[in-house]
Structure 1
Amino acid sequence: MKEITDRPSFELTPGGELRNWQGRKEWFFNRDDTDHYEQYYEGPYKRQEVWQKRTLEQLIKKDARVKTLLEFGCGTTRFTRWWHEIGIEATGGDISPFMLAQGRQLFGGDLVMADSHHMPFKDHTFDALAFVTTFEYYQNPVQVIREAVRVGKYGIVFGMMNRNTPKLIRRKVQQAIGRNNYYVTATFYTPKTLQALIREALPDRDYTISWNATGLPKWFPTQQWRVPIGDFFGLHVKLNDV
């Protein structure tokens, strides 16, 4: 297993409730939400998952240097397992012990409990970093990007919940009435706003960005395009100066 040099910190209430990571409650410290995460992908989200994985694979495979990868916010290892299926040796990292406990039962590779703002790995431990529907929950995303390129030698691949989607209104309504805890603390990005963050985080680096959007209605004539509209987009930052 890769060397671990630090541990995450979070507050426990007397009753054992996890809270105050980033100064707020998060759904991934709630067993009512984490225990159903895998079922969500096996149910109504199954078709979307197929296209999400296809999009991410097309992006990451453009860089033949990437043989190893750290997925941060790996959760139950849903995508961590899949990286191995496409020939990339993946390690998972997450701050939620509830998610990692499930991941340990489902994944035979290395997992670490840690905070993505302070990744417990030496420089260039992995070829790349991946964030799949987890980057939306970071309060200091610029710091996370800088940590990602410190640990991931050749770049980052993002899988993101897109703000440019007709479902945004539904997400906001569900959040407001307490019907979907997954969106309460999420920040939704577009390819444009994510690229602005990357420019802020990496002003002195030479990199190439490519992206694709998916998550379009089943009846739509295409399921993937270079238009920034859809429930999901993948974005790859390829570092050219290493």
Structure 2
Amino acid sequence: MAFDELVKQNLTNWQGRKEWFFNREHTDTYELWYEGRYKRAEIFQKKIIADRLQKDPRVKTLLEFGCGTTRFTRWWHEIGIEATGGDLSPFMLAQGRQLFGGDLVLADSHHMPFRDNTFDAVAFITTFEYYKDPVKVIREAARVGKHGIVFGMMNRNTPKYVRRRMQQMVGKNPFYVTANFYTPKSLLKVIDIALQGEDYTVEWQCTGLPKWFPVQEWHVPVGDFFGVYVKRNQP
């Protein structure tokens, strides 16, 4: 059986629904997004994530799940972190192998194929929105990542949310059909459920504001993107 046909039969309905990241029409052009209209946004996204994470000097290794083409996975070393990538899409990882010299694994984030405390932290960059059981995924991240969990999220609190859903309704944007958009507040509620009983602290920051706005990052829950770091306070 051809590889593409195998993927179509076994993966396109992952979690009981079709997903854009099993469609080569979309995955083959993914990198072009960041090299084009999202280039400026990426700079601020990385900045707010780095600002949160670098406050925890314990984090030297990191697993990024939902790494896709390794756009962010290739960046972690710039802030002194050795990264490994994981993703469920063989199409995304096939591109990642050409772009990233580190380790990559084809796996499901709900069942991470690593021992307890393998990494210092686990990161989800614009991928957590697609998980049907977010509590289970966070608990897996807490099992695998000893010191913390990083989230880079598409924010529900943005004027672009209406545009995203309108595009989806008329069939012009397949990327957000199955996405569950969070706000900082709603994500923190999920984290509280998943890590109930643990000692941890959370820092978050928003960005993705219009160019004309006087600031490009702030601690107000409005903007296209927000970064969160969950710092686990055990030794």
Q: 1:215 to 1:14 in 2, by over 3 A?
A: closer
Q: Which residue of 2 aligns with 1:77?
A: 70
Is residue 133 of structure 2 the alignment partner of residue 122 of structure 1? no
User: What is residue 6 of structure 1 aligned with on the other side?
Assistant: none
How far, CA to CA, are the matches of 1:135 and 1:176 in structure 2? 22
RMSD: 1.2
Partner of 2:86: 93
AA partner of residue 86 (structure 2): G
> Which residue of structure 2 aligns with residue 152 of structure 1?
145
| 2:174 is the alignment partner of 1:181 | yes
CA distance in 2, matches of 1:133, 1:20: 20
Give the 3-state SS of the residue equivalent to 2:50 in structure 1.
helix
Aligned partners of 1:27, 1:14: CA distance in 2, in Å? Answer: 16
In the TM superposition, 1:1-242 aligns within 5 A as 16-17=7-8, 18-242=11-235
Q: Percent identity?
A: 71
User: More displaced, 151-160 or 173-182?
Assistant: 173-182
Structure 1 stretch 226-235 or stretch 176-185: which is displaced more?
176-185
TM-score by length of 1: 0.93
- Alpha-carbon shift at residue 179 of structure 1 (Å): 1.0
Paired residue secondary structure (1:80) = coil
CA distance, structure 2, for counterparts of residue 205 and residue 224 of structure 1: 29
CA 129–15 in structure 1, closer or farther in 2 if over 3 Å, else same: closer
Structure 2 portions without partners, runs of 5+: none
Which stretches of structure 1, 4 residues or longer, exceed 2 Å deviation after superposition? 12-16
CA contact (8 A) 1:13 1:19 kept: no
1:34/1:14 Cα in 2 relative to 1: closer, same or farther (>3 Å)?
Answer: closer
User: Partners in 2 of 1:96 and 1:87 — Cα distance?
Assistant: 27
- How many pairs are equivalent? 231
Partner of 1:9: none
Aligned equivalents of 2:32, 2:182: Cα separation in 1: 25
* Residues 94-142 of structure 1: CA deviation (Å, up to 9, x unaligned): 0000000000000000000000000000000000000000000000000
For 2:7 and 2:132, the matched residues in 1 are separated by 24
Call closer, same or farther: CA 1:202–1:218 in 2, change over 3 Å. Answer: same
Q: State how far apart, in whole Å, the 2-side matches of 1:157 and 1:177 are.
A: 33
Judge conservation of contact 2:7–2:22 (CA < 8 Å) in 1: no
Instruction: Return the offset for 1:87.
Output: 1.2
Residue identity opposite 1:28 in structure 2: F
Q: Secondary structure at the match of 2:205?
A: strand
Paired residue secondary structure (2:67): coil
The whole-number CA distance in structure 2 between the counterparts of 1:108 and 1:139 is 30
Cα gap change, 1:13 to 1:22, in 2 (>3 Å):
farther
Change (3 A) 1:207 1:97: same
The offset of 1:241, in angstroms, is 2.2
1:16/1:127 CA distance change after superposition, 3 Å: closer
Q: Which amino acid in 2 is paired with 1:45? A: Y
Work out the CA distance in 2 between the residues paired with 1:116 and 1:200. 18
Cα distance in 2 for residues equivalent to 1:100 and 1:62:
30
